[in-house]
């Protein structure tokens, strides 16, 4: 027996000691997660049904119990005494570091959740009851205020620039989608209105007993009304602005897309558009010089 104990003391790492320490660590962790969760989830508590634990809380408790039962099955209580003091201190330090980090992370997450809850509240001035151009403006404003900033979070490390370009592409695509939706909505307006006007005109004609008896005449009436509505729309400053916004957003999206494609091409033996443009410009300038020299001679 003495020989066995001596052998145990001589081992640089003992399994049962590690088990005890790690169990203590995870017990503390479990408590910490529970405490942190209770703190940060306080504002949303009212949303949960009374007396019912949330899914996250339940999974934490369940995980801890699993670990404890696992530990009971595997550990030998007699072998835990020899755990060195220095080793016992380490999990405390790590735990504190983790607690700080996780608490910070959860705080950020909580802020994001709160932001998500606020989405829509910042644009209350716009009404969504009727589908109108305001809906697109509201969405654009909401996107700018609530979503776009996530894509502008500074990126870190070696892949920073690549990630930034991906975020830019996502942003430009979202913006293009947004303004294009408004543009096509505007384009559709004369169609809707022309049918309304046609119905009114037909109604008046019916009252007067002057309804055309040929379907072609109805079509001719409608196409004239439609043309008139388009002409009115196209001369409006709202349409012109929407057209410029759409073209601009499309251009920005395509520029951002080209940059991503160039990132991909750089890893392959294929020249990028920038490479080719530089080459084209050199050829263009050289040809001009040659032509000028030819004219001199």
Is residue 128 part of the contact set for another protein (CB under 8 A)?
no
Q: Among residues 78 and 209, whose Cβ is nearest to another protein?
A: 209
d(CA 55, CA 227): 59
Q: Which of 8, 96, 281, 289 binds another protein (CB under 8 A)?
A: 281
Q: Among residues 68 and 170, whose Cβ is nearest to another protein?
A: 170
Q: DSSP of the chain, one letter per residue?
A: -HHHHHHHHH-S--HHHHHHHHHHHHHHHHHHHHHHHHHHTGGGGGGSPTT---HHHHHHHHHHHHHHHHHHHH--GGGSTT--HHHHHHHHHHHHHHHHHHHHHHHHHHHHHHHHHHTTGGGTTS--SS--HHHHHHHHHHIIIIIHHHHTSPP-STTHHHHHHHHHHHHHHHHHHHHHHHHHHHHHHHHHHHHHHHHHHHHHHHHHT---SSHHHHHHHHHHHHHHHHHHHHTSHHHHHHHHHHHHHHHHHHHHHHHHHHHHHTTTTS--HHHHHHHHHHHHHHHHHHHHHHHH-
Q: Among residues 103 and 133, whose Cβ is nearest to another protein?
A: 133
Q: Are 263 and 274 in contact (CB under 8 A)?
A: no
Q: Among residues 52 and 216, whose Cβ is nearest to another protein?
A: 216
Is residue 232 part of the contact set for another protein (CB under 8 A)?
no
Interface mask toward another protein for 212-231; x: CB under 8 A: xxxxxx-x---x--xx--xx
Interface mask toward another protein for 78-107; x: CB under 8 A: ------------------------------
Q: Which of 2, 108, 208, 268 binds another protein (CB under 8 A)?
A: 208
Subset of 241-260 contacting another protein (CB under 8 A): 243-244, 247-248, 250-255, 258
Is residue 234 part of the contact set for another protein (CB under 8 A)?
yes
Q: Which stretch binds another protein (CB under 8 A): 29-37, 49-57, 85-93, 200-208?
A: 200-208
In angstroms, give the least distance from the CB of 149 to another protein.
23
Is residue 284 part of the contact set for another protein (CB under 8 A)?
yes
Q: Which of 5, 280, 289, 290 binds another protein (CB under 8 A)?
A: 280
d(CA 274, CA 269): 14
Interface mask toward another protein for 160-189; x: CB under 8 A: ---------------------------x--
Residues that bind another protein (CB under 8 A): 187, 190, 205-206, 208-217, 219, 223, 226-227, 230-231, 234-235, 240, 243-244, 247-248, 250-255, 258, 273, 276-277, 280-281, 283-284, 288, 291
């Amino acid at each position: 027996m003495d020989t066995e104990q001596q052998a145990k003391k001589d081992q640089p790492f003992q399994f049962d000691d590690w088990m005890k320490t790690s169990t203590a660590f995870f017990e503390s962790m479990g408590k910490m997660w529970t405490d942190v969760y209770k703190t940060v989830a306080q504002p949303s508590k009212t949303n949960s049904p009374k007396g019912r634990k949330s899914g996250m809380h339940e999974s934490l408790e369940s995980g801890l119990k699993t670990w404890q039962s696992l530990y009971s099955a595997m550990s030998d209580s007699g072998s835990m005494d020899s755990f060195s003091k220095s080793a016992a201190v380490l999990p405390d330090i790590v735990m504190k570091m983790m607690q700080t980090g996780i608490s910070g992370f959860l705080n950020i997450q909580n802020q994001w959740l709160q932001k998500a809850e606020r989405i829509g509240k910042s644009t209350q001035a716009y009404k969504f009851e009727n589908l109108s151009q305001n809906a697109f403006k509201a969405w654009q404003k909401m996107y700018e205020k609530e979503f776009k900033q996530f894509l502008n979070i500074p990126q870190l490390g070696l892949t920073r620039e690549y990630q930034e370009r991906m975020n830019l592409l996502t942003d430009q695509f979202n913006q293009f989608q947004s303004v294009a939706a408004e543009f096509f909505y505007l384009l559709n307006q004369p169609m809707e209105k022309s049918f309304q006007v046609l119905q009114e005109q037909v109604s008046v004609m019916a009252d007067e007993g002057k309804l055309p008896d040929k379907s072609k005449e109805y079509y001719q009436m409608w196409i004239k009304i439609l043309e008139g509505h388009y002409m009115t729309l196209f001369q409006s400053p709202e349409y012109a602005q929407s057209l410029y916004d759409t073209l601009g957003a499309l251009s920005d999206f395509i520029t951002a897309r080209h940059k991503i494609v160039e990132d991909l091409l750089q890893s392959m033996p294929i020249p990028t558009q920038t490479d080719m443009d530089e080459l084209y410009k050199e050829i263009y300038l050289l040809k001009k010089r040659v032509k000028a020299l030819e004219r001199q001679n």
